[in-house]
A and B are shown apart, each in its own frame.
Chain A
Amino acid sequence: MSNSHRTGDRRILWLLLSFLFAFGLWEAAGRWPISVAFSPFSQTFLAMVRMVANGSLLKAYASTVQPLIIGFIICGIVGGGFGIWMGLSRTTEWFSLPFFIILQAAPMAAVIPLVTYIYGIGLTSKVLAVAVLAAPVIVMNSYKGIRNTPPSLIQMCRAFLGTRTQVVVKIILPHAAAMIFTGLRLGLAMGFIGVVIAELLITPTGIGDLISYHSSVADFPEMFAAVASIVLIAAVTIHGLERLERRLFPPEVRGS
């Protein structure tokens, strides 16, 4: 018992140290005359407190979070479902795989301006921006999860007279669940990127707009604070999902 306490304490110690290190560096960089636009940690922190207090941060996120969640849910269900279909059906795989392989490597952000010009500066564009960036990774991960099912387990199931449905439900899907979850986690990270780009480019709402606005009026501490906030929120969310993933799908139980 005491041993795990010690390693737990040590971890917290290192965490604190790494925070001190990073924030110290940030502060120093801010005070150095590199650029008047670089706001040191202290000022950024104060600006963040101000923005939380006056509600501007909250208002911005209320707007940003909507397309993020809507886009993610749509993408998760449709994309995940499609990836599973690709994994189970050779025909579907043949038609779609080259497509998604290219999409995974491609800078999908290039189509975001087009999306906003076609669909305007509202919620639809933002949802599409999230979906377009998140879809490839969600689809591919679901597909790979299905495809990578160890053939030995499938053969075992058939040896004990499992029907095709039973093979899918009892072997393939439980095995693929871990990778599907990973895909969703990575998809959410891409979703964050998509919504930020969409907001930085055009739409006058949300955290992206907050960043652009403060940048344009040279309120650099406020701009830094807004940027730090989205980075922080994304990091905490994705990290939380990672921990959930490790608890739901410990590596030993994932199999192959």
Chain B
Amino acid sequence: MSADAIVELKGIGKTYETGVEALREVNHSFPAGKLSTLLGPSGCGKTTLLKIIGGLIPATTGEVLVEGKRVEGPGAERAFVFQDFALLPWATVLRNIAFGLELRGVPKEERFEIARKLIGEVGLVGFESSYPHQLSGGMRQRVGLARALAVDANIILMDEPFSSVDEQTRRKFQEELLDLLRHRQKTVIFVTHSIEEAAYLSDRIVLLSARPGTVSQIIQPNVDRSSESPDEIRRDKNYLDAVDQIWQVLKKYL
């Protein structure tokens, strides 16, 4: 158990009412300040695990410790980015970004100020008064990301955030995400089913087995992102090795 583990999973198991056992004996410690990815075959329970960490679903067995405290539900130190964006269709982009702050009672001027700053960072300048239906899928997810950043939580949980956009937009997002995180001390736990994405973004990759999901292997790509350009990373030997390594493990489950 490393000293700077910020999220610890101890014996997490999840069985649904229907009898389906999604997760079994999941143990792991996520290091603070790093981006860790949960990766695995379809149905391995990675989204379920993420939602358990987020406090949105209760675990059947085991416990989650965040910053040393047991998780009983959602908390101010964790922010969630949803796969289907989950934006209020009747609210403007500005209000959507500020929504987390609105729920906490932050006064209007203050929260809109924070939202405006983030609009600049995620590249949505000019769309403050637009509605979700006027935005493309990629832009909607920027709103979702900005919303999670607005509440300034230490831990950001991202559930396949880029899976609903096209390949080209997805690549751009990956680069921008690394950019956004560079200046912030955040712990990110990321769920994806894309091997390349995991290798590109992660400091650590947690591979889950097929259902019932459990930790199968941990891979550290050791890609030096600080010195290389985004395109160089994709040709970095460590990146390519990681991709291959992951694929060899996942192949067994197909």
Chain A residues within CB distance 8 Å of chain B? 152-153, 155-163, 166, 170-171, 174-175, 252-255
Q: Is the interface of A mostly helix, strand, loop or mixed?
A: helix
Give 24 pairs: A residue, B residue, CB < 8 Å, sorted on A: A152-B82, A152-B84, A155-B86, A156-B86, A158-B74, A159-B54, A159-B56, A160-B74, A160-B79, A160-B99, A160-B147, A160-B151, A161-B74, A161-B103, A161-B104, A170-B103, A252-B131, A252-B134, A253-B90, A254-B89, A254-B90, A255-B88, A255-B89, A255-B90
User: A159 — which chain B residues lie within 8 A by C-beta?
Assistant: 54-56, 74, 79-80, 82
User: B123 — which chain A residues lie within 8 A by C-beta?
Assistant: none
CB distance from B135 to the nearest CB of A (A): 11
Q: Mark interface residues in B34-78 (1 if CB within 8 Å of A CB, else 0).
A: 000000000000000000001110000000000000000111100
User: B134 — which chain A residues lie within 8 A by C-beta?
Assistant: 252
- The total of chain B residues at the interface (CB under 8 A) is 25
**A153/B103 contact (C-beta < 8 A), A158-B56, A158-B74, A160-B74 known:** no
Q: Is the CB of A160 within 8 A of B103?
A: yes
Q: Is the CB of A157 within 8 A of B84?
A: no
Answer whether residue B100 sits at the interface, using C-beta atoms and an 8 A cutoff: yes
Q: Is the CB of B103 within 8 A of A162?
A: yes
Answer whether residue B133 sits at the interface, using C-beta atoms and an 8 A cutoff: yes
CA distance A170 to B89 in the complex (A): 12
Kindly list the 7 A-B residue pairs having the minimum CB-CB distance in the complex, ordered from nearest. Answer: A252-B133, A255-B89, A156-B86, A160-B100, A159-B80, A162-B103, A152-B86
Q: Is the CB of B89 within 8 A of A161?
A: no
Q: Is the interface of B mostly helix, strand, loop or mixed?
A: loop
CA distance A159 to B79 in the complex (A): 7
CA distance A171 to B102 in the complex (A): 13
Q: Is the CB of A253 within 8 A of B76?
A: no
Chain B residues within CB distance 8 Å of chain A? 54-56, 73-76, 79-80, 82, 84, 86, 88-90, 99-100, 102-104, 131, 133-134, 147, 151
CB distance from B6 to the nearest CB of A (A): 18
Q: Is the CB of A156 within 8 A of B103?
A: no
- Which residue of B has the minimal Cβ distance to A158? B74
Tally the A-B contacts, defined by beta carbons under 8 Å: 60
Q: Is the CB of A153 within 8 A of B54?
A: no
User: B99 — which chain A residues lie within 8 A by C-beta?
Assistant: 160
CB distance from B51 to the nearest CB of A (A): 8
CB distance from A2 to the nearest CB of B (A): 25
CA distance A156 to B79 in the complex (A): 10
User: B75 — which chain A residues lie within 8 A by C-beta?
Assistant: 161
CA distance A252 to B86 in the complex (A): 14
- Which residue of B has the minimal Cβ distance to A178? B90
Q: A157-B103, A161-B76 are in contact. List 11 more A-B contacts (CB 8 A).
A: A152-B84, A155-B56, A156-B82, A159-B56, A159-B82, A160-B103, A161-B100, A252-B133, A253-B89, A253-B90, A255-B89
User: B55 — which chain A residues lie within 8 A by C-beta?
Assistant: 159
User: A174 — which chain B residues lie within 8 A by C-beta?
Assistant: 88, 90
CA distance A218 to B56 in the complex (A): 71
- Which residue of A has the minimal Cβ distance to B76? A161
CA distance A157 to B151 in the complex (A): 13
CA distance A251 to B230 in the complex (A): 40
CB distance from A182 to the nearest CB of B (A): 16
CA distance A170 to B80 in the complex (A): 18
Q: Is the CB of A153 within 8 A of B74?
A: no
CA distance A163 to B241 in the complex (A): 46
User: A254 — which chain B residues lie within 8 A by C-beta?
Assistant: 89-90
CA distance A28 to B54 in the complex (A): 72
CB distance from B75 to the nearest CB of A (A): 7
CA distance A156 to B133 in the complex (A): 18
User: B90 — which chain A residues lie within 8 A by C-beta?
Assistant: 174-175, 253-255
CB distance from A136 to the nearest CB of B (A): 28
